[in-house]
Amino acid sequence: MSDPLPRTILLVDTERYSDRDDVQQAFLRRMLYDVVDRTLLAAGIDQTLRLRADRGDAIMELIDPNAPLTTLLRTLLTEVPAQLRAVNRLASASAQIRLRAVLATGYVAIDAYDGWVGSDLNHACRLLDGEPLKQALRERTDDYALCVSEPVYAGIVRHNHTGIPAEEFSPVTMPSKNGPLAAWLYGPLPAGGLAPEPGGNSGAGTGPGAGADAPARPAQVINGGQFGGVNHGISGGTFHGDIRLGGGDRR
């Protein structure tokens, strides 16, 4: 395994992906790739500055820390909504794409199997799966919800750089199996508290094996990726143990 290196971590997930048929899912994947690629290029981040892992309904990017984080965040706030408006304007009602995203920083190592290993990456994945972010997207009409990690807020957002309005970020707490995680949500907070997801899944550690007294589950290896804890939304499944993501394309 390589030594852990500092990375900018960008996670983007498609809402209600598993509710679509195969043809619609294929279309949504093309649109997801297109939106993310156009956004990163607009931020000056080409394929030489990033590694990608494909998770079916989600894309995970490890970005060279030398790429300016202010430029990337500013672009995420403007380019993604613009891209989504352009795509959804021409798409049928059944093919509308809605995205939630997390921007974080931290140390990530890459093992001999191209797996991505790091507690900072685990943290970002749990933010992506947090109920406040999911509910914020469900309540919005602009097809996009973004949150940033505490280090990104402290290092970038709170300084009110041009194009990054600090007053439009609000603190939220994301439940996880390791306890509550702090993050900052861009845009309006979810109204009326946190409603459970359809099917009774609150995203807060429910389901088989959840709970403080539940026995630990062995990690599962799926397509080169090792998953654990209670993690929803990545590849549309629920997994138990700690997360080691593999199979990332070098792009």
Which pLDDT score is estimated for 57?
87
Residue at token pair 């790091």: 118
Each residue's pLDDT tens digit, 76-102: 999 999 999 999 998 888 889 999 999
Tokens of 214: 């539940």
Compute the distance between CA of residue 107 and CA of residue 102 in angstroms, rounded to an integer. 16
- Note whether 95 and 24 are within 8 A (CB): yes
Amino acid identity of 77? L
Each residue's pLDDT tens digit, 38-48: 999 999 999 99
Looking at per-residue confidence, does 64 or 213 come out higher?
A: 64
Compute the distance between CA of residue 1 and CA of residue 55 in angstroms, rounded to an integer. 22
Each residue's pLDDT tens digit, 9-22: 999 999 888 788 89
Lowest mean pLDDT, pick from 27-31, 32-36, 86-90, 199-203: 199-203
Find the mean pLDDT for residues 154-172.
97
Per-residue confidence band for 123, with pLDDT thresholds at 50, 70 and 90: very high
Each residue's pLDDT tens digit, 133-150: 999 999 998 899 999 999
Which pLDDT score is estimated for 196?
41
Using only C-alpha atoms, the chain has a radius of gyration, in whole angstroms, of 17
pLDDT of 244 higher than 50:
no
Q: Does the predicted TM-score (pTM) go above 0.85?
A: no
Whether CATH 3.30.70.1230 fits 5-192 = yes
What is the domain partition of the chain in residue ranges?
A: 5-192
Q: How many other C-beta atoms can be found within 10 angstroms of the C-beta atom of residue 224?
A: 14
What burial class does residue 164 get, using C-beta atoms within 10 Å of its C-beta: 0-12 exposed, 13-18 middle, 19+ buried? buried
Helix runs in the chain, H state only: 22-42, 69-90, 119-128, 131-139, 150-155
